[in-house]
Amino acid sequence: MYCKIKTAFGTPLVVALSSLLLVGLAMGRIHYRLQTTLIGYDIGHLKADEAKQLETRAYLKMQLEKLTTRKHLQLLTENDQDNNAPKSQRTYALQ
């Protein structure tokens, strides 16, 4: 069953196997590059989301600081002097 035909590169089986190996390696490289590109796009989307979240965080932090200033809290308690509810059950509307 051994093929005695020889080509410039060796037997047809060696040529076929080496061609198959090269095609497999090429497909592996294509897959690797495609995955790298897709991961790059994902990173870009995540960075955009991070920028939005940092902006939202800064806004909310500013609002929290504004609402928890001594002047604002005193204003809330002054407006609540008419409230007869126990202190543990009082609620305040934040503006």
Q: 42-73, pLDDT tens digit by residue?
A: 999 999 999 999 999 999 999 999 888 888 87
Tell me what pLDDT residue 12 has: 79
Q: What percent of the chain has pLDDT over 90?
A: 48
Tokens encoding 18: 């080496």
- CB neighbours of residue 76 within 10 Å: 15
Instruction: Tell me what the pLDDT averaged over the chain comes to.
Output: 83
Would you say how long the chain is, in residues? 95
For 7, phi then psi, to 5°, come to -110, -175
- CB neighbours of residue 80 within 10 Å: 14
Confidence grade of residue 40 (pLDDT, cut at 50, 70, 90): very high
Rounded CA-CA distance 89/86 in Å is 6
What is the pTM (predicted TM-score) of this model? 0.54
**Ranges 1-5, 37-41, 60-64, 82-86, most confident:** 37-41
The answer to whether the CB of 40 falls within 8 A of the CB of 48 is no
Tell me what pLDDT residue 6 has: 61
From the number of C-beta atoms within 10 Å of its C-beta (0-12, 13-18, 19+), residue 11 rates as middle
